């Protein structure tokens, strides 16, 4: 059932709730999966899969051609659009899979490792699987049925990675357990999404629906391809210059921080894209939704990354094991670049929803030139130099996205910079709190798990105290909403009701002039 304008606001809120719950659960499972597989496999296995992944991600932008994005972004679609999306997605998936199979030996010319050839060929089957399921997934996103999407993602992850991947690793399949896990997850997700939607599987070859979809989708693919190059220059250079072992160390440090952060912010971005698409011509609503979303992400991501930077030694030892100690300094450097890349997600979403893709192409070309220069200048410093180049590049890219947002939806630069203020203050408090605890605990030579838990507890207490005592304008209405629900529970003792009433009065008295939740709701309702 399609989501109408009248219930769009409630659908967006439910979508954020479901996608957030699913991504948090998936992030926890990802950490557990990484911890298990890091003990069952050696670093070289992860490095080989990372090399193969670079080649495959290169093809992924041509295998879909932005058709799913176009199906979501268009104001109106019909049955021919759906059939055209399915026909093109499957055809492109088959074509790219065949090219990857035949061209896999060419990857050796750059990666200098023949072991990636069979991995590329096997993982190329994923293009076909994704092509079969892409239309169903896009229809679910367009209809904002994020409850279904969330359930499918969790189930597919459990079956694919937890079931197939870990079982094969225990049976001694080595690097092939990583490949099988990825393919299985893609298969289960595609199958379950289709069983929900059951769209037409008939092919169509009329020109009209393809012209409607490919004009926008082609530009999305160009942007995606450029972002792919920018996002994988580190993997390409480390694999070529430093070898698979150091690439495996870098990859685990990167994924340890990137995946949980990406899951959390991407859940919001996935809901925001169809919502922004529906209000793309209403600038006041678009501005309100953009500022709210970006500020909330910065408020959460920046303090988490500050805590990770302090607790990196214990985090690596507990989750990856002592063999991965070399990834600690890399993880700390990445704690600067990754939160910046997360906070620019919504700027990219707004550009996609408003079809402002030419500016995104220019931005990515500028960023590519900058990264190439930074990598060349810092290559002599090894892994730390690569990580430093990424951090510097992300700072510059943040400013480039501010330029696009300022020009497109007319938000002043001062307001764009203010997005980061609550997150930076929270990050400083959390970082100092964890540093104080680490200074006390580490000389005691306590087990790494005990030291990590002590730092996590300290960070949670500090962040909770700061957020409750000095809530940002964006967070305050959400606290008031949650507080209202708690006060409505008759089962709470009388003393709790008194304290909740006092805190509610504090929030009301110290309320900001900027009604964020109202702005968010107004941005989605007519």
pLDDT digit string (tens) for 240-263?
666 667 777 777 777 777 766 766
Take residue 177 and report the two structure tokens written for it: 């357990």
Which is nearest to 316 in space by CA: 359, 256, 274? 256
Residue 71 has pLDDT above 50, yes or no: yes
Mean pLDDT of 115-124: 86
Which is nearest to 226 in space by CA: 360, 335, 107? 360
d(CA 64, CA 89): 6
Question: Would 479 be classed as within a structural domain?
Answer: yes
- Per the CB < 8 A criterion, the answer to whether 246 and 238 are in contact is yes
Residue 155 has pLDDT above 90, yes or no: yes
**E strand or H helix that includes residue 513:** none
Burial class for 487, CB neighbours closer than 10 Å (0-12, 13-18, 19+): middle
Mean pLDDT of 280-300: 84
Residue 525 has pLDDT above 60, yes or no: no
What is the chain's mean pLDDT, rounded? 81
- Residue that finishes a domain, picked among 165, 189, 215: 215
Q: What percent of the chain has pLDDT over 90?
A: 18
d(CA 193, CA 474): 34
Question: Would 205 be classed as within a structural domain?
Answer: yes
Of the given ranges (146-160, 204-218, 345-359), which has the lowest mean pLDDT? 204-218
151 against 143, higher pLDDT = 151
Q: What was the pLDDT predicted at 3? A: 42
Helix axis angle for 43-64 and 175-197, nearest 10°, is 30
Number of domains in the chain: 2
Residue 264: band (very low, low, confident or very high) from pLDDT cuts 50, 70, 90? low
Q: What was the pLDDT predicted at 513? A: 42
Task: Put residue 263 in one of left, alpha, beta given phi > 0 → left and psi -120 to 50 → alpha.
Answer: alpha
- Per the CB < 8 A criterion, the answer to whether 361 and 223 are in contact is yes
Q: What was the pLDDT predicted at 520? A: 41
d(CA 253, CA 261): 13
Of the given ranges (225-229, 304-308, 432-436, 463-467), which has the lowest mean pLDDT? 225-229
Mean pLDDT of 322-339: 81
Residue 428 has pLDDT above 90, yes or no: yes
Helices (H), 65-78: 67-73
- Compute CA distances 396 → 235, 305, 306, 311, 368, whole Å: 20, 19, 20, 27, 11
Residue 400 has pLDDT above 80, yes or no: yes
- Residue that finishes a domain, picked among 215, 233, 266: 215
- Per the CB < 8 A criterion, the answer to whether 319 and 256 are in contact is yes
- Per the CB < 8 A criterion, the answer to whether 32 and 100 are in contact is no
Give the SS3 label for residue 282.
coil
Residue 195 has pLDDT above 90, yes or no: yes
The position carrying tokens 């220059």 is 233
Take residue 223 and report the two structure tokens written for it: 């942007």
Question: Would 427 be classed as within a structural domain?
Answer: no
Question: Would 462 be classed as within a structural domain?
Answer: no
Distance of CA 322 to the CA centre of its chain: 28
Of the given ranges (100-109, 125-134, 293-302, 433-442), which has the lowest mean pLDDT? 100-109
Most confident region among 69-78, 309-318, 505-514 by mean pLDDT: 309-318
Residue 445 has pLDDT above 90, yes or no: no
| CB burial readout 2-33, b (16+ within 10 A) else e | ebeeeebbebbebbbebbbebbebbbeebbeb
Q: What was the pLDDT predicted at 12? A: 67
- Residue that finishes a domain, picked among 215, 246, 270: 215
Find the angle CA(67)-CA(520)-CA(347) to the nearest 5 degrees. 45
Residue 518: band (very low, low, confident or very high) from pLDDT cuts 50, 70, 90? very low
Q: Which domain holds residue 56?
A: 1-12+26-215
Q: What was the pLDDT predicted at 464? A: 86
Question: Would 20 be classed as within a structural domain?
Answer: no
Mean pLDDT of 440-469: 88
Q: pTM of the prediction?
A: 0.69
d(CA 228, CA 225): 5
- Per the CB < 8 A criterion, the answer to whether 475 and 467 are in contact is yes
Give the SS3 label for residue 75.
coil
d(CA 141, CA 15): 10
Residue 109: band (very low, low, confident or very high) from pLDDT cuts 50, 70, 90? low
51 against 192, higher pLDDT = 192
Residue 22 has pLDDT above 90, yes or no: no
């Amino acid at each position: 059932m399609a989501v109408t304008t009248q219930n769009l606001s409630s659908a967006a809120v439910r979508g954020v709730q479901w996608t957030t719950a699913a991504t948090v659960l998936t992030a926890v499972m990802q950490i557990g999966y990484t911890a298990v597989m890091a003990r069952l496999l050696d670093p070289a296995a992860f490095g080989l899969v990372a090399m193969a992944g670079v080649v495959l991600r290169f093809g992924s932008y041509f295998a879909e051609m932005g058709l799913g994005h176009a199906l979501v972004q268009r104001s109106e679609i019909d049955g021919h659009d759906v059939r055209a999306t399915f026909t093109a997605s499957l055809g492109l998936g088959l074509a790219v899979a065949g090219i990857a199979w035949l061209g896999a030996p060419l990857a050796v010319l750059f990666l200098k490792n023949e072991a990636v050839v069979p991995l590329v060929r096997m993982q190329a089957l994923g293009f076909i699987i994704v092509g079969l399921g892409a239309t169903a997934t896009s229809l679910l996103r367009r209809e904002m049925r994020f409850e279904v999407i969330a359930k499918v993602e969790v189930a597919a992850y459990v079956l694919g990675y937890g079931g197939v991947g870990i079982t094969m690793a225990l049976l001694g399949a080595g690097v092939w357990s990583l490949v099988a896990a990825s393919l299985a997850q893609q298969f289960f997700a595609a199958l379950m999404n289709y069983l929900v939607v059951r769209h037409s599987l008939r092919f169509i070859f009329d020109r009209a629906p393809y012209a409607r979809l490919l004009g926008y989708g082609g530009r999305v693919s160009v942007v995606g391809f450029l972002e792919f190059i920018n996002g994988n220059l580190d993997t390409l250079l480390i694999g070529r210059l430093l070898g698979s072992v150091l690439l495996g160390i870098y990859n685990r440090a990167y994924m340890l921080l990137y995946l949980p952060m990406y899951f959390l912010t991407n859940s919001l971005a996935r809901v925001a894209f169809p919502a922004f698409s529906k209000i793309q011509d209403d600038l006041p609503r678009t501005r309100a939704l953009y500022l709210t979303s970006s500020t909330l992400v910065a408020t959460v991501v920046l303090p988490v990354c500050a805590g990770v930077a302090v607790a990196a030694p214990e985090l690596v030892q507990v989750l990856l094991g002592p063999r991965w100690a070399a990834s600690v300094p890399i993880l700390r450097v990445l704690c600067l670049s990754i939160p910046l890349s997360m906070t620019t997600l919504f700027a990219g979403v707004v550009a996609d929803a408003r079809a402002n893709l030419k500016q995104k192409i220019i931005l990515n070309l500028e960023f590519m030139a900058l990264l190439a220069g930074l990598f060349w200048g810092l290559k002599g410093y090894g892994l730390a130099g690569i990580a430093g180049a990424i951090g510097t590049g992300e700072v510059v890219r943040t400013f480039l996205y501010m330029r696009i947002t300022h020009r497109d939806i007319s938000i002043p630069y001062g307001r764009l910079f203010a997005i980061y203020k609550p997150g930076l203050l929270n990050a400083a408090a959390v970082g100092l709190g964890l540093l104080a605890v680490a200074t006390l605990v580490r000389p005691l030579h306590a087990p790494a798990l005990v030291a990590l838990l002590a730092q996590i507890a300290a960070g949670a207490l500090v962040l909770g105290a700061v957020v409750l005592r000095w809530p940002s304008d964006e967070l305050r209405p959400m606290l008031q909403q949650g507080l209202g629900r708690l006060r409505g529970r008759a089962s709470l003792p009388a003393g709790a009701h008194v304290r909740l009433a006092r805190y509610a009065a504090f929030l009301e008295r110290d309320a900001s002039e900027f009604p964020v939740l109202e702005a968010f709701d107004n941005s989605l309702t007519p």
